[in-house]
Amino acid sequence: MKKRAIFQEIIEYLGKKEALVITGMRQVGKTTLMRQVFDSLESQAKLWFDFENPLEVKNFEDIDYDNIYKRLLSLTDNKSERIFVFIDEIQIFPEITKIIKYLIDHYQVKFIVTGSSNFYLNNLFPESLSGRKFIFQLNPLSFKECLYFQDKISAEDATLLPIGEAIKKSDIFYHKKYETAYENFLEYGGFPAVVLEKEKKIKEKILKNIFVSFFEKDLKILSDYKDIQELRDLILLLVPRVGSMLDVAKISSELGISRVKTYQYLEFLQGTFIIKLLPKYSKSIDRAVAGGKKVYFSDTGMLKIIGNVNDSQLFENALVNQIGQYGKISFYNQRNTAEIDLILENKFAFEVKLRGGEKDFAKLEKLSNKLGIKNYKIISKEFIEKKGFVSPVVF
């Protein structure tokens, strides 16, 4: 099984005292990644627990945390080594965070765990391991990782380059070489099982199953069936709004619920990685937080399974996910009269077009200069061999 780009980064943190938390959407490969880390360890004092198995949770059900440590120690093959404990799906047993904190502080036990959502970590766990964890967010495969998993490029070529270097790769030959693969990436997204499957019908079935899994497992927190219905209806309302600024008052009215509840649902969907909310660009952090946000989905394959979007929305959504690999992104809106689709770390401005033209570049140049952003490009799905235009396949 091929390794994700984040694998080596996690390996480098194994010597630290803090717990390592791998989080992300269901089916993005968290368990596989953690198993690869487990297998890479030569230690004989490593243990694996799957909290979806209630019998394995029982190992941690003791009010005396010292007894838990003794139990873990008895399960290891080497009693003198530092214990490495791997736990899959920690959100199933919220009490575990207190135990992790205690065993880190008193016995230097190293924990590597997975959790299916930031919402659980931030809201269900009272301490959330404050100061005692490093969080690694695993996203669906990037386009480059898709090419690597399909044996189209090497692991080295799949490595995320600085964005300036990636842009330099844009030429007609590179674009044509991966154009078909990119169309598939737009259509089916980056879930590993989907990427590795060759039959289109099975790809679609896997995507549907992933969405069903979200409702069956992540929504357990919403005990009221009405809440689940409302959340489902909100997701359906968000699909045609991809790439648009959210009008929460209007959405609340359509759903027949309060704005407060709508904001809570949006927070939940973002915390479980179904959607991304892009803030307005502002040099003032306060204004960026307070302003209206645009909505996108974390995977284009998932988006297309849920509802219909046009080619422009799908392409823009994909680029939000692609450019988002490089850092914090936002969008610029000048009183609804002029926009820049994506601004990366206040340093790069990108306009996303199915087929970019010179007028598009002139507008982008003018707005970018006004904002003091020196690097700006049109990302055009149809290759444009002119200065200022870049192919989406390089990201």
Answer whether residue 199 is part of any domain: no
DSSP 45-105: -EEEEETTSHHHHGGG--S-HHHHHHHHHHHSS-TTSPPEEEEE-GGG-TTHHHHHHHHHH
If asked whether residues 37 and 168 sit together in one domain, one would say: no
Along the 395 residues of the chain, how does pLDDT read in single tens digits?
Answer: 899 999 999 999 999 999 999 999 889 999 999 999 999 999 889 999 999 999 999 999 999 999 999 999 999 988 889 999 999 999 889 889 899 999 999 999 999 999 877 776 666 565 667 788 899 999 999 999 999 999 999 999 999 999 999 999 999 999 999 999 999 999 999 999 999 999 999 999 999 999 998 887 777 665 566 788 899 999 999 999 999 999 999 999 999 999 999 999 999 899 889 999 999 998 765 454 445 899 999 999 999 999 999 999 999 999 999 999 999 999 999 877 789 999 999 999 999 999 999 999 999 999 999 999 999 999 999 999 999 999 999 99
Answer whether residue 113 is part of any domain: yes
Residue after which a domain boundary falls, among 122, 137, 152: 137
Report pTM.
0.91
Find the CATH number of the domain harbouring 55: 3.40.50.300
Find the CATH number of the domain harbouring 262: 1.10.10.10
The domain in which residue 175 lies consists of 164-189+209-394
Counting the structural domains of the chain, the total is 2
DSSP 211-263: HHHHHHHGGGG--SHHHHHHHHHHHHHHGGGBTSB--HHHHHHHHTS-HHHHH
Task: For residue 169, give every residue at least 6 positions away whose Cβ sits within 8 Å of its Cβ, in sequence order, or none.
Answer: 161, 394
